[in-house]
Amino acid sequence: MFGLASAAIGVAISTLRSWLWLSPQHRTRTTLVVLMYHKISDRTCDALTVRQRDFAAQLHWLAQNGYTPISFAELIAYHLHQTNLPQKPIILSFDDNYHNNFVLAYPLLKQLGFKATVFVPVGYVGKTNAWDDGSEPLMSYETMRQMTDLIEFGIHSHSHKDYRTLTADEIAADIAAASRTAAESGFPYSPIFAYPYGGLPKNPVLRRQVKTLLERHGFLCAARIKGTANTLPLRDRYEICRIGISGYDTLDDFIAKLENGKA
Ligand SMILES: [Zn+2]
């Protein structure tokens, strides 16, 4: 009796041990959440603007729960060269290159040593978000250079037009202009791309053409908006899914998005 009970306990313990051992490994190897932010504000919030104190709470939750923010460069290295990722990797990305990212997000990232990625519409560096209401200043190259210890910068098109509404020629011209402008700037951009408004053309032929164009211009991956985690290894480097964080998300909403995808 004692022997059987002892054996049963032994099996239970070894099952528990293997579950504990496998669980983080499992998460590391099979899923990667990529979060997408836009503006950070110390005054207000909306769908695209997260209050600085909420952003701080989200970062501290990630730190307390063992997440390690990585760059897209590390994701590409994992994908192409089988390098290792940390146990609980996550990518923090920001679209549009808002100056408030430097003022209000970067200091918090710096405190925690967290990496992040900013996707830049390269036709608007040092200007304002003219594709929207034009009221928000965007970072200059001088400002961007001050963040390169932790921040990688990728391309978010040239003109910030929605590729779902453009012809193949218009998309090709925008990608070419983005590549040319980025190269001429001399700024150390990473060869990574985020689709404006998070979308690819629905037409499968055009969709494939866009990815081929990006590859021809040297981009190694591209991110879209889709409220779900990515399965690793990636099935399609040109359709990395990102989960948008809204300024209306509570910390519980944030955790739910992280664990279950879109709220
Ligand atoms: Zn954008």
Rounded Cα distance, 48 and 36, in Å:
10
Cα–ligand 1 centroid distance for 156 (angstroms): 7
**Residue 253 Cα to ligand 1 middle (Å):** 23
Identify the pLDDT of residue 29: 52
CA distance 56 to 43: 14
Question: What is the Å distance from ligand 1's center to 130 Cα?
Answer: 11
Structure confidence at residue 16 (pLDDT): 37
Task: Tokens for 183, please give them.
Answer: 């190269």
Distance from the alpha carbon of residue 79 to the mean position of ligand 1, in angstroms: 26
Q: What is the DSSP string of the chain?
A: -HHHHHHHHHHHHHHHHHHHHHHHHHHHHHEEEEEEE-EEESS--BTTEEEHHHHHHHHHHHHHTT-EE--HHHHHHHHHH-----SSEEEEEEES-BHHIIIIIHHHHHHHT--EEEEE-GGGTTSB-TTTTS-SBB--HHHHHTTTTTEEEEE--SS---GGGS-HHHHHHHHHHHHHHHHHHT----SEEE-GGG---SSHHHHHHHHHHHHHTT--EEEEE-SSPEESS-S-TT-EEEEEPPTT--HHHHHHHHHHS--
Give 95 Cα–ligand 1 centroid separation in angstroms. Answer: 5
pLDDT for the residue 1: 35
What is the homologous superfamily of the domain 30-260 according to CATH? Glycoside hydrolase/deacetylase (3.20.20.370)
| CA 187 to mean position of chain CA atoms | 20
Euclidean distance between the first and the last CA atom of the chain, given in angstroms as a whole number: 50
- Ligand 1 geometric centre to CA of 43 (Å): 21
State pTM to two decimals: 0.88
Q: Measuring CA to CA, which residue among 236, 235, 219 is closest to residue 174?
A: 219
| Spans of all domains in the chain | 30-260
**Alpha carbon distance 54, 149 (integer Å):** 24
Give pLDDT tens digits along the chain (263 positions).
333 344 344 334 333 333 333 333 443 457 999 999 999 999 999 999 999 999 999 999 999 999 999 999 999 999 888 899 998 999 999 999 999 999 999 999 999 999 999 999 999 999 999 999 999 999 999 999 999 999 999 999 999 999 999 999 999 999 999 999 999 999 999 999 999 999 999 999 999 999 999 999 999 999 999 999 999 989 999 999 999 999 999 999 999 999 987 74
